[in-house]
Amino acid sequence: MSRKLFVVLSIFAAFAIVLAACSSNASTPASAPAAPAANATAAPAGGAAPAASGQTVVGLITKTETNPFFVKMKEGAQAKATEAGAKLLTGAGAKDGDNEGQVTALENMVNAGAKGILITPSDTKAIVPSIQKARDKGVLVIALDTATEPQSAVDALFATNNFNAGLLIGQWAKAAMGSKQPVIATLDLAPGITVGAQRHNGFLQGMGLAKADPNSSDLVTASQVVCSQDTHGDQTEGQTAMENCLSKNPNINLVYTINEPAAFGAYQAIKAAGKDKDITIVSVDGGCQGVQGVVDGKIAATSQQYPLKMASMGVDAVVNFAKTGQKPSGYTDTGVTLITDKAQSGVDSKDSKFGLQNCWGNK
């Protein structure tokens, strides 16, 4: 056999070993002081992976694999699943907005025998027909973090009240600005996504500049908003958007950002323009890096949400459904807390110390 072909085949074999090791780890990471999976040869690491009879299978589908928010969500779900003796399957879209990837994961999990599936829909409308198909087969479907459109497409929703999250930073910003006339830039998510609209609209309502339907996926605006750009919640795009906004209107003094990565991007642009003392940035998420941004004075205030709680509640609900046949229903608010070190009277908030204790993601 030629040496090069041998190399190629060796890589393939090495990969098979890695995969075999992973498959047994993935199913029971915490509990197993793992079987000698590392010793596995190219032969399958049998036994560990397939669902044991009677074990409840729970699916978790996130928007992406990489966002720390979803990583934390997965941790919460895995911890709860291990505790309850359930098996957790995970899946995700290739990128935010990848509906077909989520549909595929959903179908595969139904075929894998999942009793219930927890999903953070990437495309709140597009996923609905596929969720319906899963529910028709008797699978419990719970939306986490992001509501579907209509919300009734799933059995239940466990999520932050994103409108409230926006409202809190809006109220805080109004108090913090005092008598200063606000000149606002909004760095938004993407068109047609409910979460993005709810935070944005909540913020403007909190500022007292607009009235909005808390469930709408359309952005409201006000004359004080001089620049609105989509960032897809991405730091690089946030920076570009802020640079463009500043060249459009250099008098901007208040920036709303859809999440903390976008806020850091905005800060980068603002600092480069030498305006970091004049501009206040508010955000939503409460990730550890975001709260650190509050400590460092880059972000003035942020609304903290709790992904771990959403996921563990979701796993609980599926396990309970498997035992008792009872389905959860309606909307459960998993809570939101305003984190700032410049508390304003009349607006409830906690300081960054509390924020760091309760944050998600890497510190």
Partner 1 sequence: MSAIASQMTKNRSGILKVLQGSPVMGPLAALIIAIIFFATQSDRFLRGENLSLILQQTVVVGALAIGQTLVILTGGIDLSNGMIMALSSVLMAGLAVSSGVNPILAILMGFLVCIIFGVVNGSLVTRIGLPAFIVTLGTYNIAYALVRIYTTSTITNLPAPLLFFGQTFRVGSTEITYGSVLMVILYVIVWYVLRSTPWGRSVYAVGDNPEAARLAGINTNRVLTEVYTVAAITYGIAGLLLVSRTGVGDPQAGQTGNLDSITAVVIGGTSLLGGRGSIVGTLIGALIVGVFRNGLQLMGVGSIYQVLVTGILVIVAVSIDYLSHRRKA
Least separation in angstroms between CB 277 and partner 1: 36
Q: Segment near partner 1 (CB under 8 A), from 4-12, 176-184, 238-246, 252-260?
A: 4-12
CA distance linking residue 308 with residue 356, whole number of Å: 15
Alpha carbon 235 to chain centroid, angstroms = 15
In the complex, minimum distance from the CB of residue 306 to partner 1, in angstroms, rounded to a whole number = 23
- What residues contact residue 108 under an 8 Å CB cut-off, 6+ apart? 91
User: Is 35 one of the binding residues for partner 1 (CB under 8 A)?
Assistant: no
Burial state string for 196-208 with b = 16 or more CB within 10 A and e = fewer than 16: bbbbbbbbbbbbe
Strands of the chain, DSSP E: 57-62, 87-92, 116-119, 140-144, 156-159, 184-188, 225-230, 254-257, 280-285, 301-304, 330-333, 337-340
Stretch that binds partner 1, among 120-128, 207-215, 303-311, 342-350 (CB under 8 A): 120-128
Residue 116 contacts residue 311 (beta carbons within 8 Å):
no
234 is an interface residue for partner 1 by CB under 8 A: no
How far is 207 from 200, CA to CA, in rounded Å? 11
The DSSP H or E segment spanning 267 is helix 260-272
Which among 77, 164, 91, 157 has a CA at the least distance from the CA of 124?
157
Quick one: which of 56, 67, 90, 303 contacts partner 1 (CB under 8 A)? Answer: 90
Among the listed residues 17, 112, 183, 226, the single contact to partner 1 using CB under 8 A? 112
- For the bound state, the minimum distance from the C-beta of residue 307 to partner 1, rounded and expressed in Å, comes to 17
Applying CB under 8 A, among 31, 38, 85, 95 the residue interacting with partner 1 is 95
Q: Which residue lies nearer to partner 1 by CB, 195 or 294?
A: 195
Number of residues that bind partner 1 (CB under 8 A): 51
Provide the minimum distance between the beta carbon of 70 and partner 1 in the complex, in angstroms, as a whole number.
11
Q: Which of residues 161-190 bind partner 1 (CB under 8 A)?
A: none
Nearest CA to 285 out of 185, 176, 360 is that of 360
- Measured CA to CA, the distance from residue 146 to residue 9 in angstroms comes to 44
Contact pattern for partner 1 over residues 43 through 72, marking x by CB under 8 A: -x-x--xxx-------------x-------
Q: Is 260 in the site for partner 1 (CB under 8 A)?
A: no
Instruction: Please give the residue ranges that form the binding site for partner 1 (CB under 8 A).
Output: 1-2, 4-5, 8, 11-12, 15, 19, 22-23, 26-27, 44, 46, 49-51, 65, 87-92, 94-95, 97-100, 103-105, 107-109, 111-113, 122-126, 128-130, 191-192, 217
